[in-house]
Chain A
């Protein structure tokens, strides 16, 4: 278990306050660029010094400002994979991996390096220099190299951000497989939601230097509690609203959303929050949670059914975004088949339906 609880101030007033635990398995550090994720990674590795706090692994301190402990980088055994792999350009892929291996005979090192490269599917590139291998291969070699050093934790700084989808998924699969045996805490920095879902057993969400949410990727993205998280998590429908009525007995509130341009309004039932009647709130609904019907739905459990008119239909390759105005402008994402079968097109009248608990009232 890796425990992090550190602060660091920067010139200009930016402050990082990072506090979270990471058990064995993959923990995603998620947030916009500049929110402090990479600096957190660097502080754990010892590349950047925190101002105060404590970092420990299985109870042993790597850094402790109270106990004046600051273990040198080389003794932290924190395997670090940089965004651009940082393979040593003067060494071949194999020599890069051998570089990380502890004392052993030349033959043993060679054998172990090749085995690791094999594990990550890049044995064919063993004798090539970094500039002669692709970005995806470079990251695979970098992962092999990080594991070769015998780490007690792995720190991955957006290692896949520059790669195409297929390459990404392949590497993620290899990483998961490698870690099933090793059971290391793996911290994985990303701003990509897909990577977070594909890889993470846990997510730690950063916003402006602070950890604002922790939980499974499902939890933190499904019911985002903060507008920043909601935006990052790709929640398309975020509206300003006013609480009209608080119904503590049913655990719900009714809010009114008003379109700033047209002045049109709509009423939506949302989960009960601490906000009282008259309070301004923000409400988020994921596009995938909104159902579209061409007739008024009857006998449906969804508490929110809004009449709307389609404004646009955009094919985003695989999923189709339908924008419809029902008070405010909503975005629903559907499959191509649904759009085709229902004959959805611009100007058509539809009904939008979504559950009370598909709505999140955001803290800001």
Chain B
């Protein structure tokens, strides 16, 4: 254990935390839009956001490489802003994990917001509340259980991302090698104990998170 390399786990944790924070904010906003606003192309947006859930991770990774690469407008912009490219850095891993987790967050957020009875929101409006106050003081608290479950799911998903991360961030030990990638690396190079240890840790974390999610979503709604 003394010479166990903790870097991949810590990197995974950092990537998952940052991408979850981004996904939580964006996912709640998009989920609210999809649940509460009628606009043309609503279902197209939903489908596009859901796509990463069913696409092969390599396809997703390919799209991201094209979209974020050093020669792409976005990649160029980010590089000029931060001084380092997005691809093959840990930031690229954050983007890959976020895109993979976003559909889970948006789906749960849309369902949670839709389950809030509109009458409560209408009541708040008649009591003089602005749309932002209605969202922050009525919709958000009433949807909070579902939203929290979505956040946990997103975190679990971000923690375990493999394919897209490998394509976008690569497999640079000590720089971009996340836990999921490190497991692959370890089995390929015959370091079975290391692989097994990482597998056990990741499984335990995933199980705990799923268990928490279930407790949240099956409990009382208005407690």
Is A74 a contact partner of B128 (Cβ separation < 8 A)? Answer: yes
Closest to B123 in A: A86
Total residues of chain A contacting the partner, CB 8 A: 27
Residue of B nearest to A82 (CB): B119
Pick the contact of B127 from A90, A129, A131, A145 — CB < 8 Å? A145
Cα A78 to Cα B141 with chains together (Å): 25
Q: Report Cα–Cα, A145/B120, bound state, in Å.
A: 13
Say whether B175 faces chain A, with CB atoms less than 8 Å apart.
no
Cβ of B123 and Cβ of A88 under 8 Å apart? yes
Cβ of A148 to closest chain B Cβ, rounded Å: 8
Contacts of B120 in A (CB 8 A): 86, 88-89
Among B126, B137, B138, B141: residue with most chain A CB under 10 A: B126
Residues of B within 8 A of A86 (CB): 117, 119-120, 122-123
A52 in contact (CB, < 8 A) = no
Any B CB within 8 A of the CB of A357: no
CB distance from A136 to the nearest CB of B (A): 18
Say whether A90 contacts B222, CB under 8 Å: yes
If A74-B130, A89-B142, A90-B141 touch, whether A131 touches B125 (CB-CB below 8 Å) is no
Question: Which residues of B are found within 8 Å of A79, using beta-carbon distances?
Answer: 126-127
Question: Are A73 and B126 touching (Cβ within 8 A)?
Answer: yes
What is the CB-to-nearest-CB distance from B146 to chain A, in angstroms, rounded to a whole number?
13
Q: B112: shortest Cβ distance to chain A, in Å?
A: 14
Taken residue by residue from 80 to 115, chain A's Cβ proximity to chain B (1 for < 8 Å, 0 otherwise) reads as 101010101110000000011010000000000000
Partner of A100, one of B122, B128, B222: B128
Is B191 on the interface with A (CB-CB < 8 A)?
no
Contacts of A78 in B (CB 8 A): 126
Q: Let me know if A99 and B124 touch, CB within 8 A.
A: yes
A222 partner residues in chain B, CB cutoff 8 A: none
Write out the residue numbers on chain B whose beta carbons fall within 8 Å of the beta carbon of A73.
122, 125-126
Contact, CB under 8 Å: A99 / B137: yes
B215 at the binding interface (Cβ < 8 Å): no
In the complex, what residue of chain B is closest to A131 when comparing beta carbons?
A: B222
Confirm or deny: B36 has a beta carbon within 8 angstroms of a beta carbon on chain A: no
Tally of contact residues, B, Cβ under 8 A? 17
Q: How far is the CA of A22 from the CA of B137 in the complex (A)?
A: 33
Other-chain residue from A88, A89, A129, A149 in contact with B126 (beta carbon distance below 8 A): A149
Residues of chain B lying within 8 A (CB to CB) of residue A47: 122, 125-126
With A90-B141, A129-B222, A131-B222 already in contact, the answer to whether A45 and B126 are too (CB < 8 A) is: yes
A47 to nearest B CB, angstroms? 5
Residues 107-122 of B, flagged 1 when their CB comes within 8 A of A and 0 if not, give: 0000000000101101
A146 to chain B, nearest CB (A): 8
CA of A324 to CA of B125 in the docked complex: distance in angstroms?
55
- The reply to whether A82 and B128 form a contact with Cβ atoms under 8 Å apart is no
Closest to B119 in A: A86
A82 to B127, CA, bound (A): 12
Residue of A nearest to B133 (CB): A74
| Across-interface contacts of B125 in A (CB, < 8 A) | 46-47, 73-74
Determine if A267 is an interface residue (Cβ-Cβ < 8 Å). no
Contacts of A145 in B (CB 8 A): 127
Q: Which residues of the other chain, B, contact A148 by a CB distance below 8 angstroms?
A: 127
Contact A88 B128, beta carbon cutoff 8 Å: no
CB–CB B141/A100 < 8 A: no
Select one of B117, B122, B124, B128 contacting A77, CB under 8 A.
B128
Contact present for B222 and A82 (CB under 8 Å): no
Enumerate chain B residues within 8 angstroms of A149, measured Cβ to Cβ: 126-128
How far is it, in angstroms, between the C-alpha of A46 and the C-alpha of B122 when the chains are bound?
10
Q: Is B129 an interface residue (CB 8 A)?
A: yes
Is B123 within 8 A of A74, CB to CB? Answer: no
Expressed in whole angstroms, the Cα–Cα distance for A359 and B120 within the complex equals 47
Chain A residues lying within 8 Å of B130, measured Cβ to Cβ, are 74
What are 18 A-B contacts with C-beta separation under 8 Å?
A46-B125, A46-B126, A73-B126, A75-B128, A77-B128, A78-B126, A79-B126, A80-B126, A82-B123, A84-B119, A86-B119, A86-B122, A88-B142, A89-B142, A99-B124, A146-B126, A146-B127, A148-B127
Which A residues have a C-beta under 8 Å from some C-beta of B? 45-47, 73-80, 82, 84, 86, 88-90, 99-100, 102, 129, 131, 145-146, 148-150
Taking A46-B126, A79-B127 as known contacts, 15 extra A-B pairs with beta carbons closer than 8 A to each other, sorted by chain A number, are A46-B125, A47-B125, A47-B126, A73-B125, A73-B126, A74-B125, A77-B128, A79-B126, A86-B122, A88-B120, A90-B141, A90-B142, A99-B127, A99-B137, A100-B127
Enumerate the 5 nearest inter-chain pairs by beta-carbon distance, A residue then B residue, closest first.
Answer: A73-B125, A80-B126, A89-B222, A86-B123, A100-B127
